[in-house]
Chains A and B, each alone.
Chain A
């Protein structure tokens, strides 16, 4: 799509994926104004989901679940997200019941199948008894209120064990697979919110690296080092950095 002159490269770039994908997750979950929403996983998608929920969909309360302090702090600072660190609060469901008695209106999974916590799931994945862990799913199933909605924007590959299907039926939960986001469907809407200043994709932008260092960038991002949340990769064609965005740096010094 063509980018208006008033929108910087840094604000426009993420219309490729994460901005409309996060919008699609909230839109698919059919979030209504004044609701209480849980967001599992505060990577780039989860953080953008929080911003859509706060600024545009007008959620009353947003609970963010992650174990990276910098991400929890950023979500709390900018969008009033109530943080739960699953390293310190091992029982997420009990913690949620404590702060949101009765359960969440809707839960959005931005974490995915890779992050097995229990030894059981780690072993089952290792020996090929399952490809995906159901732990996040089951936390959401138990923490969401009766007749609430669970939507999955995180990716899942194939099969999982120990899935709490009984609660899906008995509690009347709506389990929604968002699908890969149909970007072009939400493009104009997302751009409009960016132009109006209701959504700023550069808040989560933490680093800018040269294209030549992509391998090292992926490695450090994968290990969640250097507080890398979202990067901007400079090529030889990239123009000057927009004011307020990260300056070009060397990934080994980050």
Chain B
């Protein structure tokens, strides 16, 4: 879940279509378009109900299955959610062994905030 080279951050974007694949019917090269932040297949049961952010085909990570019971759809620019990943590990392998690491990890995140506040 680490960021990789060439990852694209952010997810609000606009542009002009350069090329389309053979199955694309709604836009053509030259069209000015805006993209949604979420990724959806348009075919699964959730997409058919217009619940596109619950698409079952657009997220290959199982992190949310562990923490939330189910996973939601993929979201552009937010594919690496470290807080959920760490919590999932803690819950999955819940043992006292992890507690100091959990504490250190939280402290390292929150201390700068506390120092800045006071």
Binding site for B on A (CB under 8 A): 1-3, 5, 9, 12-18, 20, 122, 125-128, 131, 157-158, 179-185, 187, 214, 233, 237
Contacts and interface: CB of A to CB of B under 8 A. Distances in A.
Contact of B50 (A184, A233, A237): A184
A181 B102 contact: no
Contacts of B11: 16-17
Given A17-B36, A183-B53, A214-B9, 6 more contacts: A2-B26, A2-B32, A3-B34, A5-B32, A179-B51, A237-B16
Contact of A184 (B33, B36, B84): B36
Interface centre among A5, A12, A128 (most CB of B within 10 A): A128
Nearest to A218: B9
Contacts of B53: 179-183
The 8 tightest CB contacts between A and B, nearest first, are: A16-B12, A183-B36, A182-B52, A180-B53, A126-B110, A128-B106, A185-B50, A17-B37
A125 B83 CA distance: 12
A13 B34 contact: yes
B97 interface: no
Contacts, number: 102
Contacts of B14: 3, 9, 12-13, 16
B76 to A, nearest CB: 9
A183 to B, nearest CB: 4
B79 interface: no
Given A2-B26, A126-B114, A183-B52, A18 B12 contact: yes
Interface of B: 9-16, 26-27, 31-38, 40, 50-54, 67, 72-73, 75, 83-84, 87, 102-103, 105-107, 110-111, 114, 117
Nearest to B87: A158
Contacts of A9: 14, 32
Contacts of A15: 34, 36
A179 B106 contact: no
Nearest to B91: A158
Given A1-B34, A122-B114, A126-B110, A158 B50 contact: no
A157 B111 CA distance: 19
